[in-house]
Amino acid sequence: MAKKKIKCQQTKKEVMAVIQLETLKQVVSAPFDFTTPEASVGFVCSYAPEELILAAGYTPVRLFGVEGEHSLAHRHLQSYACSLVRGILEEGLKGERKNLAAIVFPDACDAIRRLSDIWRINVKGPIHFDLVLPVKLNTESAQAYTRELLVQFRQELAESLGAIITDEGLKEAIRLMNEIRACLQEIDRLRANGPSAISARDYYTILRAGMVMDRRLYLRLIQEIYNEVKSQGEKEEKNGRVLLVGGMCKIPEIFSDIEEAGGWIVGDDLCVGSRYFSTLCRTEGDPLYAIAERILARPLCPAKHRGIRTRFEQIIDKAEKTGAKGVIFIQYKFCDPHAFDYPDLKEALAERGLPTLLIEIEDPLPAEGQIKTRCEAFIEMIKGD
């Protein structure tokens, strides 16, 4: 009788995990069906200090842009702007985000700077904030400057939204985001230790959902998913261990293509992946100093630096720790920061005996099957090494 009871409980947990995952998929496909725009603050880069937005009583919602034709954005952007920036601008010009309370543009790449300028002039509605973060992150002046920038943002955000942002509210937001990041780290660890019950496609859907929905509800959902995945244990190991490197990737088919080609994604260095959750925020002391500290300490994207080889070392270290046999770069066409990094990164990885594959993406994707065919050839190669 006891065995039957345990089986019944596991079945219920599995059903609940499926329900939570389906909810998160719906959130990603239509985030504003689950969030009130007037109670949301948009942001376009993961360097945005979500804790301040939460402490103001608003939901941070990352904009991923609309897919398909970007006819309105074409009138304002140069032909070599990436399709991510085009999609976000199209989203704004169509009036789809006019009801947001505010929008935050962290200073990342040149394309986002120009996007901010064009949005400010042409998109009516949300209160507009630019956050000019430092580029070199490992200096005393960068720490002091970032904290002062957050002091100013806190004041302007509160005044503009008619909100009160207290230190205790900030600390509560820090604790919430830390819980979310810690849970995502555990899910990531399970996937790195062995292919789990969560497919790569579903895993990155889970991560995206956390950038657009109510954070407390999100925490509850991912905790339930984690408990189910943990109880199922590991699946049979595959040999095609790959590390993903790049920026934004909102095209779930790519992750499916890699797995269907025989690959096992053992880790990543992606803006919508581990760079988002791998660093927790200190909970003691001045909350703004702690948030600034985390911004400067998190894994680098190519638009920031702490030294000429720091990012190379970051990726090589991750490849070695995860046991990756190859590295797949996923980057947007016309993404200058990642394009500038790629040749030197490829050379540095080759010196360590790690082959690489570059997948350049743009909306829409290439003809069906092209990416999968290239992944199959690459994974067959690294399996044979």
What DSSP assignment string belongs to 164-200? ---HHHHHHHHHHHHHHHHHHHHHHHHHHHS--SS-H
**pTM exceeding the 0.85 threshold for the entire prediction:** yes
SS3 79: coil
Domains and CATH numbers, the chain: 32-163 (3.40.50.11890)
Q: What does the block give as tokens for 286?
A: 């001045």
- Tell which residue, 80, 97, 382, has the closest CA to residue 261: 382
Instruction: Give me the pLDDT at residue 236, please.
Output: 58
Instruction: Give me the pLDDT at residue 229, please.
Output: 84
Q: Cβ-count burial of 14 within 10 angstroms (0-12 exposed, 13-18 middle, 19+ buried)?
A: middle
Q: Which three-class secondary structure string do you get for 36-59? A: CHHHEEEECCCCCCHHHHHHCCCE
H or E element in which residue 222 lies: helix 215-232
- Over the chain (385 residues), the average pLDDT of each successive run of 10 is 42 65 91 88 97 98 91 93 94 93 95 96 95 95 97 98 98 99 95 78 94 96 91 69 93 90 94 96 97 96 91 94 96 94 95 96 72 94 82
Q: What are phi and psi of 266, to 5 degrees?
A: -90, -10
Amino acid in position 206: I
Instruction: Give me the pLDDT at residue 344, please.
Output: 94
Instruction: Give me the pLDDT at residue 2, please.
Output: 44
Task: Write down the residue that tokens 């909350």 correspond to.
Answer: 287
Q: CB–CB of 283/173 below 8 Å?
A: no
The rounded distance, in Å, linking the Cα atoms of 216 and 204 is 19
The rounded distance, in Å, linking the Cα atoms of 26 and 218 is 13
Q: State CA 45 to chain mean position distance.
A: 8
Angle at 285 between CA 284 and CA 286, to 5 degrees: 130
| Cα radius of gyration rounded to whole Å, the chain | 21
Instruction: Give me the pLDDT at residue 7, please.
Output: 41
Helical pair 252-260 and 370-384, crossing angle rounded to 10 deg: 40
Q: What does the block give as tokens for 31?
A: 């985030």
The rounded distance, in Å, linking the Cα atoms of 215 and 40 is 12
Q: State CA 284 to chain mean position distance.
A: 26
Instruction: Give me the pLDDT at residue 9, please.
Output: 47
List of residues 6+ apart from 70 with CB closer than 8 A: 83, 86, 87, 89, 90, 363
Instruction: Give me the pLDDT at residue 363, please.
Output: 76
Instruction: Give me the pLDDT at residue 111, please.
Output: 93
Q: CB–CB of 299/274 below 8 Å?
A: yes
